[in-house]
């Protein structure tokens, strides 16, 4: 352990954020919580939520939808002295990572894959461009459709990033720079007599288009019949985020709807309109389920101040 370790992690974090990649602080060093989010650092930067018991708890969820600021990075690494760096995977950062432990290395070699990062245990991390649809983070130990030793870090996940370390040693970059592509992932593989639909199990096949539904829930929302900011105003502003991330726009819809006094049922109803507004922004599908999941997530955060009308505009 070196006195300058947090400064080295800080510099690596700054480089990633400059590339548009989101990060979080982790315990790092030789602590038992080396791979876990650094709770004190997150609390120090104000990334918290209130649990059911009224207690303040650390949260790294916001970094799934927005990049940390330079002030956040300084607080995490230079003040709280976090010694580990987690790269947030998913649509915002633009990456999916296949995480392979030692048990999965023979299959990795048989597939001809070359790792981008070697973990302290001797495992491997392989990077792919995010495909544009929701990729569920999953591990072979709890998803039997994956070969043993294969995990995937997608939306809602993170992966340790060099020069972080744990008690076993450092995470190390390799000389290999070519990213894995979906075409490099076979549709199926057979391991010890069992066949796995590998591409699908890793979340790398596009979701089936959701059938069009003419009917919405038997529910009439309040759009502009009181003093609250009209939902159509919130929808317009949320849709502005879609070119960057449709998930982020749906999250902001939920965050702002909650701030302005709308019940979660009303925001989920409004997600239908949001979906229609942003569906064509990108070529890849975006489902109502994804939009409503992001809206629901926003309602787990403390409620912000409601917007007020200023010069015929809400701010």
- pLDDT (0 to 100) of residue 142: 59
- pLDDT (0 to 100) of residue 210: 54
β 138-139/150-153 pair status: antiparallel
- pLDDT (0 to 100) of residue 223: 44
- pLDDT (0 to 100) of residue 312: 44
* For helices 264-278 and 231-239, angle between their N-to-C axes, nearest 10 degrees: 50
Q: Is-above-0.85 flag for pTM?
A: no
| H-state helical runs in 142-221 | 198-201
- pLDDT (0 to 100) of residue 52: 73
CB 14 within 8 A of CB 161: no
The pair of structure tokens assigned to 302 is 């403390």
Separation of alpha carbons 15 and 187, rounded Å: 35
Torsion of CA 126, 130, 131, 136, to 10 degrees: 80
- pLDDT (0 to 100) of residue 117: 97
- For residue 126, the SS3 value is strand
User: Residue ranges per domain, the chain?
Assistant: 1-88, 91-155+171-205, 231-314
- pLDDT (0 to 100) of residue 50: 81
- pLDDT (0 to 100) of residue 225: 46
- pLDDT (0 to 100) of residue 139: 72
Burial class (CB in 10 A: 0-12, 13-18, 19+), 287: middle
Burial class (CB in 10 A: 0-12, 13-18, 19+), 183: exposed
pLDDT tens, the chain, 315 aa long:
566 889 999 999 999 999 999 999 999 888 888 999 999 999 999 999 887 778 888 999 899 989 999 999 999 999 999 999 999 999 999 999 999 999 999 999 999 999 999 999 999 999 999 999 889 887 766 578 899 999 999 998 999 999 999 999 999 999 999 999 999 999 999 999 999 999 999 999 988 765 555 444 444 444 444 578 888 889 988 988 887 888 999 999 999 999 999 999 999 999 998 988 887 777 678 899 999 999 999 999 888 888 876 544 545
Beta bridge partners of 173: 117
The pair of structure tokens assigned to 245 is 């991330």
- pLDDT (0 to 100) of residue 54: 80
**Distance from the Cα of residue 55 to its chain's centroid:** 24
């Amino acid at each position: 352990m070196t006195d300058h370790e947090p400064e080295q992690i800080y510099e690596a974090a700054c480089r990633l954020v400059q590339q548009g990649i989101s990060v979080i602080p982790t315990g790092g060093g030789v602590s038992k919580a080396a791979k876990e989010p650094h709770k004190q650092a997150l609390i120090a930067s104000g990334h918290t939520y209130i649990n059911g018991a009224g207690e303040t708890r650390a949260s790294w969820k916001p970094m799934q939808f927005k990049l940390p600021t330079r002030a956040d990075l300084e607080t995490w690494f230079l003040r709280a002295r976090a010694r580990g760096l987690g790269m947030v995977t998913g649509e915002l950062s633009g990456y999916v990572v296949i995480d392979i432990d030692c048990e999965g290395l023979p299959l990795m070699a048989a597939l001809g894959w070359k790792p981008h990062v070697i973990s302290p245990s001797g495992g491997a991390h392989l990077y792919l461009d995010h495909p544009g649809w929701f990729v569920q983070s999953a591990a072979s130990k709890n998803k039997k459709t994956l070969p043993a030793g294969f995990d995937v870090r997608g939306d809602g996940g993170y992966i340790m990033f060099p020069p972080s370390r744990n008690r076993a040693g450092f995470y190390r970059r390799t000389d290999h720079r070519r990213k894995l592509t979906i075409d490099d992932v076979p549709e199926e593989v057979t391991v010890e007599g069992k066949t796995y639909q590998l591409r699908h199990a890793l979340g790398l096949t596009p979701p089936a288009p959701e059938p069009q539904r003419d009917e919405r829930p038997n529910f009439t929302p309040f759009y502009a019949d009181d003093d609250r900011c009209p939902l159509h105003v919130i929808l317009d502003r949320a849709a502005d985020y879609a070119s960057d991330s449709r998930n982020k726009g749906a999250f902001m819809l939920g965050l702002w709807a909650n701030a302005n006094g709308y019940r979660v049922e009303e925001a989920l109803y409004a997600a239908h309109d949001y979906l229609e507004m942003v569906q064509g922004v990108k070529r890849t599908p975006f489902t109502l389920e994804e939009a409503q999941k992001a809206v629901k997530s926003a309602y787990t955060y403390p409620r912000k101040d409601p917007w007020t009308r200023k010069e015929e505009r809400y701010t």
